[in-house]
Amino acid sequence: MNVKFDKWGPEKVVIVSDKRIGLKGFLVIDNTTAGPGKGGIRMVSDVTVEEVANLARAMTWKNAMAGLPFGGAKSGIAANPRAMTKDKKMKIMRAFARALKHLVPNEYIAGPDMNTGEAEMAVFADENGLDSCTGKPAEMGGLPHELGSTGWGVYHSTITALKFLKMKVRGATVAIEGFGNVGTFTAKFLSKSGAKIVAVSDSKGTIYNPRGLDVEKLIKVKKERKTVTKYGGGKVLKSSALFGLKVDVLIPGARPNAINEKNYESIRAKLIVEAANIPMPVEIEEKLWKKKVTVVPDFVANAGGVISSYVEYIHGTPEQMFKMVEDKIKTNTELVLERSKKMKVSPRSAALQIAQERVHRAMNYRNGL
């Protein structure tokens, strides 16, 4: 195990194993100074405790930056859900949930992640109580992912950043990588505000029309024909071509490290808003910042999901969720960009400073300092 420990954490590393049913899982509770560690359960065959620890630390900063009474945590189950029956998957999830019973909800609150959704959270809640996780079915008090909380947050982060940069929202040209839940809602909200969605990509390619795309038509095409490239009213390019298009706003919302050493110099957008987690290495963000490209970091822009989780945790309504996501994302995006400008550091450095200051203050309060 190669988990790094420092003054922030992690506080606990839990390894769960049951060879009889093929369960191997990890939970890393990074920091609970501000509240119980919050983070989802991912189920992928090659997940490692080191990966989970890194994600738990990212959740510490994301929750602190969002101003939530949560710490950071994450868990993972090393299994391939596509290679097992639904019953087997649920059996493994129930066993994992049972193994964490002594830690939830006081030290850890679970949630959905890669290959886990409301069905898995229903099992987790059934085993450990309704307050042990978020992302539950609506019938169990959950706030469905289909409401679009993350996309709603990315939208507000984008328009806040545009206004900060003194760029008009109406008519601003936007390219979006990925057209799943987050990309779809981001496109829909931005389009309604007058921004022009000119390019969208998925795994099959990019559809590009400089005059703008009809987002509602695009959503229908994606649903019925499984790819945006069948839109019919634009030019079909490679998926990777999206990043080099001349647009005002680029929103990477799918793959990690999609923007990298090989393609960052081709970027012509003035503003990048990170809807995906880690869509580029930190050093690439720094290089883009030095080239006068403003990058709103992932743990600022895409925090709508975890804010929605908090509203579910306090048994709030969808209306309360939308209001809280809007207020927090707008406030924090502006706060980060203001500090970046004032301190002459990249937005990520500014955001990390703010998150660490908040956690440090909470740690001092806990220690009576």
In the chain the domains, ranked by start, together with CATH numbers, are 12-59+73-141 (3.40.50.10860), 149-304+331-353 (3.40.50.720)
Q: What is the dihedral of CA 353, 354, 358, 361, to 10 degrees?
A: 50
Tokens standing for residue 83: 């290679």
- Using the structure block, give the residue that is written with the tokens 């606990």: 12
Give residue-wise pLDDT tens across range 259-293. Answer: 999 999 999 999 999 999 899 999 999 999 999 99
Count CA atoms within 13 Å of residue 51 on its CB side.
16
DSSP secondary structure string for all residues of 192-224: HTT-EEEEEEETTEEEE-TT---HHHHHHHHHH
- For 105-157, the pLDDT digits (tens) are 999 999 999 899 999 999 999 999 999 999 999 999 999 888 999 999 999 99
**Under 8 Å between Cβ of 65 and 11:** no
Is 74 assigned a catalytic role?
A: yes
**pLDDT tens-digit map of 149-170:** 999 999 999 999 999 999 999 9
Rg (CA), the chain: 20
Among residues 7, 19, 38, 74, the one annotated as catalytic is: 74
Single pTM value for the model:
0.94
**3-state DSSP assignment of residue 191:** helix
Query: What CA–CA distance (Å, rounded) separates 42 from 58?
Result: 15
Model pLDDT, residue 178 = 97
pLDDT at 365: 86
pLDDT in tens, 40-77: 999 999 999 999 999 999 999 999 999 999 999 999 99
Q: Is the pLDDT of residue 174 over 70?
A: yes
DSSP string, 87-143: HHHHHHHHHHHHHTTTTTTTTEEB-BBTTB-HHHHHHHHHHH-GGGBSS--GGGT--
How are strands ordered across the β-sheet holding 294-296? Answer: 235-237, 205-208, 196-202, 173-177, 249-252, 271-273, 294-296
Of residues 80, 68, 16, the one with CA closest to residue 42: 80
Cα 327 from Cα 340, distance rounded (Å): 20
CA gap 118, 235 in Å, rounded: 37
Is the pLDDT at 369 greater than 90? The verdict is no
Q: What is the pLDDT of residues 324-357, one digit of tens each?
A: 999 999 999 999 999 999 999 999 999 999 999 9
Check pLDDT > 80 for residue 193.
Answer: yes
pLDDT tens-digit map of 288-327 = 999 999 999 999 999 999 999 999 999 999 999 999 999 9
Q: What is the pLDDT of residue 366?
A: 80
